[in-house]
Amino acid sequence: MRAEALALLDKARENLQASRTLIDAGFFSIAASRCYYGMFYAAEALLLDKGLRFTSHGAVQAAFGREFVLSGRVEADLHRYLLDAFRARQTADYEPPRRSAARTP
């Protein structure tokens, strides 16, 4: 595997480890973001190892589906998890936090 792809896999592992730490500390929305990035970097590494490089999240997601799921190299569920994690990250990073009824004054 190419050195740059291996570096991305290291980055993926680091983000997944950080997400576990954040979950343990109760920071669920931040953990969702880190978990997505772990998955994203892993997908990016696989694509890069095939000589494919993309500049957007959507392009990486689409290419991962095309290159690895449609070819039968990985289960379709993995692509679905990546897409679901992206939506969770978008919500966690950009949506205002919801207030629970218990906290409402």
Cα radius of gyration (the chain)? 16
Would 101 be classed as within a structural domain? no
The CA distance from 37 to 58, in Å, is 13
Residue 49 lies in a domain: yes
What's the domain range around 41?
3-94
Judge whether 81 lies within some domain: yes
pLDDT exceeds 90 at position 15: yes
* CA dist list (Å): 77 to 41, 46, 68, 84: 17, 16, 11, 10
pLDDT, residue 103, reads: 46
Is residue 79 situated within a structural domain?
Answer: yes
Residue 105 resides in a domain: no
Assess if residue 100 is contained within a domain. no
Output the pLDDT for position 86. Answer: 97
Number of structural domains in the chain: 1
Does a structural domain hold residue 11? yes
Pick from 33, 34, 39: nearest CA to 17: 34
- Residue 102, in any domain of the structure: no
* pLDDT tens readout for residues 35-93: 999 999 999 999 999 999 999 999 999 999 999 999 999 999 999 999 999 999 999 98
